[in-house]
Amino acid sequence: MIRLVSLLNRRKGFWHALAVALVVLLVGASLTTYVGNLIRDANVDRHKAAAVSVLSEARARLLGTIGRTLSLGTGLMNYVVVNPRIGELQFRRYSAEMIAQDRSIRSIALAPGNVVRFVHPLEGNERVIGLDYASNREQWRGIHQAMESRSVVLAGPVNLVQGGRGILARLPIYVPAFGSPGEPARTYWGIASVMFDEQAMLASAGLSTLVGEYEIALQVPGDGERPTSTILGQPDLFERDSARLDVLLPGAVSWQLAAIPRQGWVHTSTEFWLAVAAGYGATLLLAAMSFFVVFEMLRARQLAHHDPLTGLPNRRLLEDRMEQLASFSDRSGLGFQVFFVDLNDFKPINDQHGHAIGDLMLVEIGRRLRSETRRADTVARIGGDEFVVLTPGLMQEADAAQFSRRLAAAVCEPMTIGAATLSVKASVGRASYPQDARSIRELLDLADTRMYAQKQQRFETLFTEVRAANGS
């Protein structure tokens, strides 16, 4: 126990320094983690930018493929504008040529007045002839949109009777109304529909579920009437942290491409590991430096005002507190008292058992004196075997005498240090401010004088007892 107290007294400021080091460590680690996360996010952003570049190329090919198919449909639309009385034979020849140029086209239909009159190829599509779009709620939405916008509208994907799925392009046809003055007005003739195969479109655009290191998906977002439909890849790509790119199509139709690396986004890099290593290394170094600097500062401060052996206040701090109490006493009249405690016959213990044992005895005596005092009291070590107890407020003479005896009794209790059981006596001299002295120096000198007087009286008493015992 005595060794533990001695060790703690020699480590004043250790826990404060450790707390500062831990705060520095926590702040540094937090900043390093924050910077590391920024670098990780930047790595992901760069990887996503590369994925968007791949999606941009895929979008360009897809739009090019759809654009080529729609250009053939536009050609048919223009042909009808020039030949509004188009016949069956003319339609079949033109449609056959369209399919020959673009193998992704599955079927072509013309609907003058929104009633289907021509279909190519006819085989398998016979029941479409005579379909009135105005009376078909499912198809009328797209037809009406094309009529209102006077532009191409894409719909789908839709399931084909022949199997598979297709994308349907609606092309509204407006023909000139000749006979009107000035620029001829245009009247609605009907609608041209071009159905092209979904898989053939994707193959022509060179799109697949894997492009380089990326998984690719293409979907048509749903609306109030149609659910979301996936054209290419896995639907869950749109639920994961994927790179996205919109594909704007004619008729204000928007599809969406998504890409995600098969191995996941790259979070770490050489830059990341260097930054993290440098950050944590600098944090550890700064925390260690903070610990030693704060520890040494507090230790130096401790040594300036405390006894390095016992950790008790030294003479400098004692006199400073006495000055403060004297100033307060002069204003309030409360006063204070000092008890000068000196150990008797301590030097023989040092000589016989060594200074290490003596030091441990001094530490234990300081602890005992502290245990006998209040929190507001001060126990100081001002010399080799000299202690002073400072108590704010004045005691009655009987109380002061009893307190002196209690201090002496606490010191005299035997203590076990190693294999030795040791004890010392103590002489206590006391003085009161302002009754006994008007200055700090005079007060300490008076308490010291009274302590020596008590020690001399005890020596004389002991001498008398020895002489009496010897019969002299």
Angle at CA of residue 453, ends 447 and 455, nearest 5°: 105
Res 6: pLDDT: 45
Mean pLDDT of 325-333: 90
Residues of the chain with CATH 3.30.450.20: 10-305
* pLDDT category of residue 214 using cuts at 50, 70 and 90: very high
pLDDT digits (tens, 9 = 90+) for 171-188: 999 998 765 555 567 899
Residue with tokens 């499912």: 138
Is there a contact between 311 and 11 (Cβ–Cβ < 8 Å)? no
Res 462: pLDDT: 62
Phi–psi pair at 455, nearest 5 degrees: -65, -40
Structure tokens at 328: 């307060």
Closest alpha carbon to 233 in 214, 255, 216:
216
List all residues 6 or more positions away from 121 whose beta carbon is below 8 Å from its beta carbon.
107
* pLDDT over threshold 70, residue 238: yes
Closest alpha carbon to 113 in 130, 126, 97:
130
Res 345: pLDDT: 83
Residues of the chain with CATH 3.30.70.270: 308-470
Pairing of strands 153-159, 165-177: antiparallel
* pLDDT over threshold 70, residue 77: yes
Q: Does domain 308-470 have CATH number 3.30.70.270?
A: yes
The Cα-based distances of 427 to 314, 342, 385, 404, 405 in angstroms read 20, 5, 11, 9, 9
CATH number of 10-305: 3.30.450.20
* pLDDT over threshold 50, residue 431: yes
* pLDDT category of residue 226 using cuts at 50, 70 and 90: confident
Give 226 or 11, the one with higher predicted confidence. 226
Could you give the percent of the chain with pLDDT greater than 70? 91
pTM of the model: 0.60
Question: For helices 270-305 and 315-332, what crossing angle results, to 10°?
Answer: 70
Tell me which of 180-194, 197-211, 412-426 is least confident: 180-194
Q: What is the DSSP string of 94-116?
A: HHHHHHHH-TTEEEEEEEETTB-
- Residue at 222: amino acid letter: G
Structure tokens at 35: 């910077």
Res 445: pLDDT: 93
- In DSSP terms, 337 is beta-bridged to 391, 432
Rounding to the nearest 10 degrees, give the CA dihedral for residues 293, 295, 301, 303.
-130
pLDDT digits (tens, 9 = 90+) for 109-137: 999 999 999 999 988 788 889 999 888 88
Is there a contact between 12 and 18 (Cβ–Cβ < 8 Å)? no
Mean pLDDT of 452-461: 80
Is there a contact between 57 and 149 (Cβ–Cβ < 8 Å)? no
Res 17: pLDDT: 86
Q: How far apart are CA 350 and CA 343, in angstroms?
A: 12
* pLDDT over threshold 90, residue 215: yes
Res 250: pLDDT: 80
Res 1: pLDDT: 47
Average pLDDT, the chain: 87
Give 137 or 260, the one with higher predicted confidence. 260
Cis omega (within 30 of 0) on the bond before 313? no
N- to C-terminal Cα distance for the chain? 46
* pLDDT category of residue 8 using cuts at 50, 70 and 90: very low
Res 88: pLDDT: 92
3-state secondary structure at position 313: strand
144-149: long-range contacts (C-beta < 8 A, 24 or more apart)?
145/170, 145/251, 146/170, 146/171, 146/172, 146/191, 146/251, 147/172, 147/188, 147/191, 149/251, 149/252
Res 466: pLDDT: 57
* pLDDT over threshold 60, residue 245: yes
Q: How far apart are CA 120 and CA 98, in angstroms?
A: 10
Q: How far apart are CA 184 and CA 228, in angstroms?
A: 42
pLDDT digits (tens, 9 = 90+) for 379-395: 999 988 999 999 999 89
